[in-house]
Structure 1
Amino acid sequence: MKAIAVRPGTANSVHLAELPMPAVSDIPDGRGVLVRVLKVGVDATDREINEAQYGNAPAGYDFLVIGHECFGVVEAVGANVRRVRPGDYVTCTVRRPGGSIFDRIGRNDITSEETYYERGINLRHGFLTEYFVDDEEYIVRMPQALAHLHVLAEPMSCVAKAVEQAFLAQQRLQVWEPKRAWVTGAGQIGLLSALILCLRGIQVLTLARGAKPNLKAEIAEGFGAEYVSTAELSLHDVAARYGKPDLIIEATGSSSIAFTCMDVLAHNGCMVWTSITGGKTETEVPSDRINLNWVLGNKLLVGSVNANFRHFESGIRDLALGEATWPGVLQKILTTPVAGLDNYREMMRLLVEDKQALKVFVEVAQV
């Protein structure tokens, strides 16, 4: 069967590959779930892997199938599968056990090992293919009523985890009730972060470069956030005008923005870094002032990546609530479909060149 793959370590090697057809029996103990892939979301991670910034092929292969945001339909299940059945819409978690103590407590999204296994990213094939099979443990059912939001489930799971991590970490304060939050960046992670925080009744500023009017501002404000262009106001100017934030979700992919945010966080605040910067940018920061203010201000920095089964379920619940609260807004994120696996060159071109493509996704098959 067809698959879109890269040769890790070789820049711009995206190509069409062949994989054997999987079967339910590939998974032991009758726990296999065979999924026909319908749609796969792609993002900067896939572009960076194609640029050879990171990623490794699975054992026995010289290529890595990319794509870590999947939506499909169950075709067959093993004898001991209980949570899903043929015909169900599903998505699938990305990280796989790597021999860490966290695997033994059901936290495969976290590892203490240097080597990690992640579908479409490192040492495990991704979802940009026609079928895949996986253990029931990693399959998450999607409600039929949310099928039109399909590939948003995976990025939403990462946002659900990031927000959860902030609140769990802030239990150190006994009482933490953030009133004001900033979301820096208005890509899919930034916009979905704004959604979750608005659902929690927090005053949200979405900060991004583009001047209004634009689609990102329309979506953020559709959730009840306020959109501010950083081309018009610096982060320090925003803090002076609107007040320092109690919580920052940093999702720009810019390390200079990430470090500048450290200088404007309120006392007892928490900042969550969600974006990955794979370049070599060096940024000058007021390190003495930041060090002083963070210690005396009792501030906290959390890094968050990936998600487990529970975060997927939480994120899907918030997708449903967001869709019910602000009908039609979420679907505006899904801007740019690509027809079929054969159009892999166009898929990658959009990721590299099209700055207006908020969310690119490949339509692998029809229902």
Structure 2
Amino acid sequence: TVVEKGITQGYEIQRRLRVWKPRRAAVMGAGTIGLLATLILRLRGLDVTTFALTPKPYLNSDLIEAIGARYVSTQETAIGDGAVKYGPFDLVFEATGYSPVVFDSMRALGKNGVLVLSSVTGGDRTIEVPADKINLEFVLGNKVIVGTVNANREYFENGVRDLSQAELQYPGWLKRLLTHPVKGLENYSELFDQLLNAKGAIKIFCEVAEL
């Protein structure tokens, strides 16, 4: 629902331009939110490039490429270089949890683009940025930044619709997100242990009863 809200509102904001027809999108981060953002943007027909730290191949990069998106490791290709090669991007969805990527995302955004922020960063990290250049590009380029953090019934309904469409378009893909099952509520201690320590987890979940 957080992803649905961010992407829907990004589209609504840029419709003010009347000629906005997004073709290329970037997703920053390949965790659960990044994977779902990649999926929803692909369902909308966009050419999607997903940037994340870990070099491929691994499950998350496989999932991204399985739906026709492009995976780029930032250990191998900087975001700026990726934007030159695959952008400029009409929409960027940031979901890394690492605030400096926000400013890289600003630079990767094309004219008339919209940047959707979903990361919640509670630290005190500081960096140096080319503030004048970023400001100039946003003002002259009609660019927008919007945050997404919660959702209402509309976005739940959109999510159900898109998940249904995803199962039709990419059968079995959603099931691959469910990486770490724990059987029964009585095994809650195992559930918490998985949440804290599981490696390579995308979605840890409790099977309350047999289906």
TM-score normalised to structure 2 length: 0.94
Q: Does 1:276 align with 2:120?
A: yes
Q: Does 1:329 align with 2:184?
A: no
The partner residue of 2:73 within 224, 229, 232 is 229
Partner-residue secondary structure (3-state), 1:361: strand
1:292/1:334 Cα in 2 relative to 1: closer, same or farther (>3 Å)?
A: same
Rounded Cα–Cα distance in structure 1 between residues aligned with 2:190 and 2:121? 24
Q: In structure 2, what is the equivalent of residue 213 of structure 1? A: 57
Identify unmatched segments of 5+ residues in structure 2.
none
Structure 1 counterpart of 2:5, which letter? Answer: K
Rounded Cα–Cα distance in structure 2 between residues aligned with 1:322 and 1:363? 22
Rounded Cα–Cα distance in structure 1 between residues aligned with 2:97 and 2:29? 8
Tell me the CA shift for residue 194 of structure 1.
1.0
Q: In structure 1, what is the equivalent of residue 158 of structure 2? A: 314
Tell me the CA shift for residue 218 of structure 1.
1.0
Structure 2 counterpart of 1:184, which letter? Answer: M
Tell me the CA shift for residue 339 of structure 1.
2.8
Rounded Cα–Cα distance in structure 2 between residues aligned with 1:299 and 1:350? 41
Rounded Cα–Cα distance in structure 2 between residues aligned with 1:286 and 1:350? 41
CA deviation profile, 1:249-274 (whole Å, cap 9, x unmatched) = 11111111122211221111000001
What pairs with 1:1-367 in structure 2 (closer than 5 Å)?
A: 157-367=1-211
Rounded Cα–Cα distance in structure 1 between residues aligned with 2:119 and 2:187? 27
Decide whether the 8 Å contact of 1:219 with 1:330 is kept in 2: no
1:355/1:278 Cα in 2 relative to 1: closer, same or farther (>3 Å)?
A: farther
Tell me the CA shift for residue 248 of structure 1.
0.2
Identify unmatched segments of 5+ residues in structure 1.
1-156
Rounded Cα–Cα distance in structure 1 between residues aligned with 2:90 and 2:97? 21
Rounded Cα–Cα distance in structure 2 between residues aligned with 1:276 and 1:314? 23
Tell me the CA shift for residue 288 of structure 1.
1.6
Partner-residue secondary structure (3-state), 1:212: coil
Tell me the CA shift for residue 364 of structure 1.
3.1
Decide whether the 8 Å contact of 1:260 with 1:285 is kept in 2: no
Partner-residue secondary structure (3-state), 1:335: strand
CA deviation profile, 1:181-238 (whole Å, cap 9, x unmatched) = 0011111111111111111111000111111111111111111111111110111110
Decide whether the 8 Å contact of 2:52 with 2:72 is kept in 1: yes
Rounded Cα–Cα distance in structure 2 between residues aligned with 1:354 and 1:280? 27
Superposition RMSD on alpha carbons, in Å?
A: 1.5
Tell me the CA shift for residue 348 of structure 1.
3.1
Rounded Cα–Cα distance in structure 2 between residues aligned with 1:289 and 1:352? 41
Tell me the CA shift for residue 340 of structure 1.
3.2
Structure 1 counterpart of 2:69, which letter? Answer: A
Rounded Cα–Cα distance in structure 1 between residues aligned with 2:184 and 2:100? 37
Partner-residue secondary structure (3-state), 2:111: coil
Larger helix fraction of residues? 2
Rounded Cα–Cα distance in structure 2 between residues aligned with 1:287 and 1:352? 38
Rounded Cα–Cα distance in structure 2 between residues aligned with 1:220 and 1:267? 26
